[in-house]
Amino acid sequence: MSFAIELNNVSKIYQGKKAVDNLSLKVEKGTVIALLGPNGAGKTTTISMILGLKQPTSGTIKLLGGSPKDISVRNRIGAMLQEVSVIDNLKVAETIELFRNYYSNPLSLQELLRISGLEKEKDKMAASLSGGQQRRLGFALAASGDPEIIFLDEPTVGMDVTSRQMFWDTIRSMADKGRTVVLTTHYLEEADSLADRIVVINQGKVVADGSPSQIKAETTGRVISFTAGTSVTSEQLLALPGVIDVEWNGRRVKLQSRDTDRLIVTLIEQRIDMKDIEIQSGGLEDAFQAIVHSTN
């Protein structure tokens, strides 16, 4: 089977520090995949290497079966990176036209203005757009060649709710056309509602990989919360076997654990002063936090 993206044992070391650590990942064509992870997890470095903008220290990368540096491969992909730089003295429509000209089968200007929601701004100078509008322009440029794979690095940062919703619809329609979409996001809600597959990265490694429902199911029962008596301390709770993280809200405490069944027995055996005990199955946010904490 040919994959849209294939990474084999890829590492990137900056000044002795591993930003990406022996990462292997295969992405099937037509997938919407979200790379999730805290700041500094290695998401942007991974995308930059897939795009051939950064050279891996070791390992191999294939994009559409070829090298990310092949011009024939480049023509079939589009990317919107975190920094969208606009060209001075060009209007929005002129900027889009400039990019369309690079490709043999570009989307029409009208279509690009429509999917990026920039129809009203088409005659404005690109440099005068707001931050959110500039990101939408970045998206139009990334989509201009009607790419088979589109990379979106934190695409909705700075977008208002309406723009974000419209943007999600556009991504879904790209996926419906069989396009592969790779996005990084800090918004778990975004990953949950858009992606077929979520890959959680922490400290340069894949720490979870599955559908949003698999990721949630994996962590079912991972959180125990209760109202703690005044004698209970964080140190005491963190010392209990299986406790990954302790979070307080007044006297209400939330424990993250890999094995809540065992933890509840331990809490009772150790006569921890607890009231109103709850075991939560956890949403995606809890799943993400639990996975990241357990791998720190």
Binding site for ligand ATP (CB under 6 A): 14-15, 19, 37, 39-45
Q: Which of 6/154 has CB closer to ligand ATP?
A: 154
What CA–CA distance (Å, rounded) separates 29 from 141? 22
Task: Give buried/exposed letters for 207-240 (b at 16+ CB in 10 A, else e).
Answer: bbeeebeebbeebebbbbbbebeeebeeeebeeb
| Local structure of residue 91 (DSSP, 8 states) | B
What CA–CA distance (Å, rounded) separates 254 from 106? 52
Q: Which of 125/157 has CB closer to ligand ATP?
A: 157
CB of 21 to ligand ATP, least distance (A): 10
Q: Which of 15/162 has CB closer to ligand ATP?
A: 15
What CA–CA distance (Å, rounded) separates 51 from 41? 18
Contacts 24+ apart (CB under 8 A), 187-193: 187/156, 188/36, 188/283, 188/284, 188/285, 188/288, 189/284, 190/34, 190/156, 190/164, 191/34, 191/36, 191/284, 192/284, 193/168
CB of 74 to ligand ATP, least distance (A): 21
Q: Which of 18/258 has CB closer to ligand ATP?
A: 18
CB of 43 to ligand ATP, least distance (A): 4
Alpha helices of 107-258 — where are they, by DSSP H? 109-116, 131-143, 161-176, 188-194, 212-218, 234-238
What CA–CA distance (Å, rounded) separates 222 from 216? 10
Q: Which of 20/284 has CB closer to ligand ATP?
A: 20
Q: Which of 40/241 has CB closer to ligand ATP?
A: 40
Q: Which of 39/249 has CB closer to ligand ATP?
A: 39
Task: Note whether 80 and 153 are within 8 A (CB).
Answer: yes
CB of 82 to ligand ATP, least distance (A): 7
CB of 121 to ligand ATP, least distance (A): 27
Sequence-distant (6+) residues with CB within 8 A of 293 are 244, 245, 256
What CA–CA distance (Å, rounded) separates 262 from 284? 22
CB of 39 to ligand ATP, least distance (A): 3
Q: Which helix (H) or strand (E) holds 257?
A: strand 252-257
CB of 134 to ligand ATP, least distance (A): 18
CB of 132 to ligand ATP, least distance (A): 18
Q: Which of 45/256 has CB closer to ligand ATP?
A: 45
